[in-house]
């Protein structure tokens, strides 16, 4: 199937409420309202119309930005109402023509980003003192209902027409792509037989039955809709403690982009990455400054310029750009630099925050580290001259698939642990990266956490923090061969291998969502029954009837 994405412009992930085309953010006291009114002509690229509040990546980028700004810029908000601007329609889900005309890789990364955004809503509810109410003023289909499922409560208008539905199986030959099946079974704990029925009824379920089956929490007639929304929002807001202090405005973080011999270089203030399209690799470096705040008051004074918030916002943007704009890049070589004293002073604040702003920064670092964990790129940590893998930066090393440490170098890497390595930034599996790394040898976790002060590459190797630790004689050749070998493997096989190996240990709703995403989307989105010449996704909205191969694998 031909794709229209080959010539699409690069995706930009930075925006601002003044530039939103699809969402309106309003705040009244401690209740915020996010109203979804998608501009039909405001698609992220040409070739489709965003009808019935259907969405594409651009719509979700604005939603993610809005949630982030609420967390930092509006600490007074204790409840967020998410509703729709159209009559009798909340959201029709992901735009079908957009999906149909996208490459397979784009579909998967689109679903991954929307998953992360919905998990971000749940994270804000769990860690930022704000509850979310999905006020479904009309029908919520597919991804629209999945957005509602990420909220704490769902209120559906009872107008004899509006329903919630997952029409993907009966209409498109695919599955809900942003955790819907997992959430109705694991989060809302709906009976399996009812889940089965619900997921095969294209028109969905409405009214009293939707409440009875726990698909929504309540219904309200159109005659008192506004009053019902306000009542439930007030009750949710009152369950959350108030936070003191003004909000922190988020500054822009667009990188400076320059061409290189084999690709492009992107430079932010603390992060830079350079892509080599010929070698299919990228080099990404994050650098801590020499000076930093030593207490929460000074950190708050620096606001969004506080280096750790700024640096991890830049890292987050870089990871998203690598995912969506540089699919040819299979391996990222990660280096961390800067004084260990900066990492230690910063981590002392992040590990035990008492100020809401510092706590929110720690939350953001945790979410960004998860984004690194979940990226379909091979990741090698390169610990050579003048690199620093201490505390939060050690977490980045532990996020990588391998770590190479150069021993015997007078100007070699610096390693060290801080309080954050004991579990401040858990992975999607709910445990620390050290615990995940040493799942079979928990005594190794104790040994690493017991290492005092800074230590060198040889000590790091002895503690199990290095995959390989060549000396200066073998370093260049061994690293070159490792990079060339990795770049020569099938990217499909590597993506599957990496996803299987990164999350040892407990399974959570989050790991289920991403594990199933990999299996469902990487398989079903390539099957002829969905995307073949007469597949359901291809045929939807056309005069053609879908044709299925009815043999089960």
Q: How confident is the model at residue 544 (pLDDT cuts 50, 70, 90)?
A: very high
Q: How confident is the model at residue 411 (pLDDT cuts 50, 70, 90)?
A: confident
Regarding whether 305 and 233 lie in a shared domain, the answer is: no
Q: How confident is the model at residue 403 (pLDDT cuts 50, 70, 90)?
A: very high
Regarding whether 199 and 142 lie in a shared domain, the answer is: yes
Q: Write down the mean pLDDT value for the chain.
A: 94
Regarding whether 165 and 205 lie in a shared domain, the answer is: yes
37: its two tokens: 């009114």
Out of 498, 523, 543, pick the residue that ends a domain: 498
d(CA 45, CA 52): 18
Mean pLDDT of 414-432: 97
Regarding whether 222 and 322 lie in a shared domain, the answer is: no
In a domain, 39, yes or no: yes
pTM: 0.95
Mean pLDDT of 393-412: 94
State how far the alpha carbon of 310 is from the alpha carbons of 119, 253, 295, 302, 425, in Å: 22, 8, 17, 10, 18
By DSSP bridging, strand 263-267 and strand 256-259 are antiparallel
Regarding whether 439 and 338 lie in a shared domain, the answer is: yes
Regarding whether 266 and 229 lie in a shared domain, the answer is: no
Q: For residue 324, what pLDDT is reported?
A: 95
Of 529 and 82, which is predicted with more confidence?
82
CATH number of the domain within which 397 lies: 3.90.226.10
Mean pLDDT of 236-245: 91
Mean pLDDT of 365-379: 96
User: pLDDT tens for residues 289-335?
Assistant: 999 999 999 999 999 999 999 999 999 999 999 999 999 999 999 99
In a domain, 230, yes or no: yes
**Number of domains within the chain:** 2
Q: For residue 438, what pLDDT is reported?
A: 98
Q: Which residue has the tokens 């957009």?
A: 98
Ranking 176-185, 190-199, 421-430 by mean pLDDT, the lowest is: 176-185
In a domain, 249, yes or no: no
Q: Is the pLDDT of residue 169 over 60?
A: yes
Q: How confident is the model at residue 521 (pLDDT cuts 50, 70, 90)?
A: low
Mean pLDDT of 261-286: 96
State how far the alpha carbon of 104 is from the alpha carbons of 24, 339, 487, in Å: 31, 42, 21
Q: How confident is the model at residue 552 (pLDDT cuts 50, 70, 90)?
A: confident
Q: For residue 1, what pLDDT is reported?
A: 34
Q: What secondary structure does DSSP assign to 124-158, as a single string? A: HHHHSS-EEEEEESEEEETHHHHHHHTSSEEEEEE
Regarding whether 407 and 293 lie in a shared domain, the answer is: yes
Q: Is the pLDDT of residue 176 over 80?
A: yes
Could you give the residue ranges of the DSSP H alpha helices within 44-135? 57-73, 96-100, 104-127
Of 230 and 176, which is predicted with more confidence?
230
Regarding whether 198 and 49 lie in a shared domain, the answer is: yes
Q: Is the pLDDT of residue 3 over 70?
A: no
Q: In which domain, by residue range, is 444 found?
A: 256-498
Q: For residue 178, what pLDDT is reported?
A: 86
In a domain, 528, yes or no: no
By DSSP bridging, strand 263-267 and strand 271-276 are antiparallel
Regarding whether 185 and 142 lie in a shared domain, the answer is: yes
In a domain, 146, yes or no: yes
Q: Which residue has the tokens 């822009």?
A: 252
Q: For residue 5, what pLDDT is reported?
A: 41
Q: How confident is the model at residue 258 (pLDDT cuts 50, 70, 90)?
A: very high
Regarding whether 293 and 218 lie in a shared domain, the answer is: no
Q: For residue 7, what pLDDT is reported?
A: 55
Q: Are 378 and 282 in contact (CB under 8 A)?
A: no
Q: Is the pLDDT of residue 4 over 50?
A: no
Q: For residue 320, what pLDDT is reported?
A: 97
User: pLDDT tens for residues 468-510?
Assistant: 999 999 999 999 999 999 999 999 889 889 988 998 999 999 9
Regarding whether 282 and 230 lie in a shared domain, the answer is: no
Q: Are 249 and 304 in contact (CB under 8 A)?
A: yes
In a domain, 524, yes or no: no
In a domain, 3, yes or no: no
Q: For residue 524, what pLDDT is reported?
A: 83
Regarding whether 192 and 140 lie in a shared domain, the answer is: yes
Instruction: Tally the residues of the chain.
Output: 553
In a domain, 508, yes or no: no
């Amino acid at each position: 199937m031909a794709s229209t994405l080959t010539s699409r412009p690069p995706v930009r992930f930075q925006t601002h409420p003044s530039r939103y085309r699809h969402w309106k953010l309003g705040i009244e006291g401690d209740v915020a309202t996010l109203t979804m009114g998608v501009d039909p002509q405001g698609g992220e690229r040409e070739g489709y119309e965003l009808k019935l509040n259907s969405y594409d990546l651009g719509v979700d980028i604005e939603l993610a930005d809005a949630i982030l700004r609420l967390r930092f810029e509006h600490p007074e908000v204790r409840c967020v109402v998410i509703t729709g601007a159209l009559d009798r329609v909340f959201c029709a889900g992901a735009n079908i023509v957009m999906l149909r005309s996208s490459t397979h890789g784009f579909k998967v990364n689109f679903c991954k980003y929307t998953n992360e955004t919905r998990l971000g809503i749940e994270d804000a509810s769990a860690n930022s003192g704000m509850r979310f109410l999905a006020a479904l003023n009309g029908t919520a289909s597919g991804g629209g209902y999945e957005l509602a499922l990420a909220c704490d409560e769902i209120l559906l208008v009872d107008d004899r027409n509006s329903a919630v539905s997952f029409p993907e199986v009966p209409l498109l030959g695919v599955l809900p792509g942003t955790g819907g099946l997992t959430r109705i079974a694991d989060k809302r704990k709906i009976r399996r037989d009812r889940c089965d029925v619900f997921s095969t009824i294209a028109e969905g379920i409405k009214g009293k039955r939707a409440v009875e089956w726990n698909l929504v929490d309540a219904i309200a007639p159109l005659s008192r809709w506004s009053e019902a929304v306000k009542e439930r929002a007030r009750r949710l807001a009152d369950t959350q403690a108030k936070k003191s202090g003004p909000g922190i405005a988020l500054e822009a973080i667009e990188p400076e982009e320059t061409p290189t011999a084999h690709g492009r270089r992107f430079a932010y203030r603390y992060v830079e990455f350079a892509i080599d399209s010929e070698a299919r690799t990228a080099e990404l470096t994050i650098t801590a400054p020499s000076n930093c705040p030593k207490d929460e008051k000074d950190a708050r004074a620096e606001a969004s310029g506080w280096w750790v918030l700024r640096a991890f916002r830049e890292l987050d943007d870089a990871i998203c750009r690598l995912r969506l704009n540089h699919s040819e890049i299979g391996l990222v070589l990660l280096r961390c630099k800067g004084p260990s004293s900066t990492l230690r002073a910063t981590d002392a604040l992040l590990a035990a925050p008492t100020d809401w702003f510092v706590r929110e920064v720690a939350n953001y670092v945790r979410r960004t580290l998860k984004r690194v964990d979940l990226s379909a790129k091979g990741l090698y940590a390169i610990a050579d001259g003048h690199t620093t893998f201490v505390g939060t930066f050690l977490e980045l090393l532990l996020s990588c698939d391998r770590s190479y440490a150069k021993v015997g170098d007078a100007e070699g890497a610096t390693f060290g642990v801080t309080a954050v390595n004991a579990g401040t930034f858990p992975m999607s599996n709910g445990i620390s990266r050290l615990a995940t790394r040493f799942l079979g040898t928990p005594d190794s976790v104790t040994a690493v956490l017991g290492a005092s002060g800074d230590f060198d590459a040889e000590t790091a190797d002895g503690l199990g923090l290095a995959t390989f630790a060549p000396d200066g004689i073998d370093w260049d050749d061994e690293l070159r061969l490792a990079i060339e070998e990795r770049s020569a493997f099938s990217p499909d096989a590597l993506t599957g291998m990496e996803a299987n190996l990164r999350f040892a240990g407990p399974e959570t709703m989050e790991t289920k969502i991403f594990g199933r995403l990999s299996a469902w989307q990487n398989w079903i989105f390539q099957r002829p029954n969905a995307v073949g010449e007469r597949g359901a996704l291809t045929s939807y909205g056309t005069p053609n009837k879908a044709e299925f191969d009815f043999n089960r694998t």
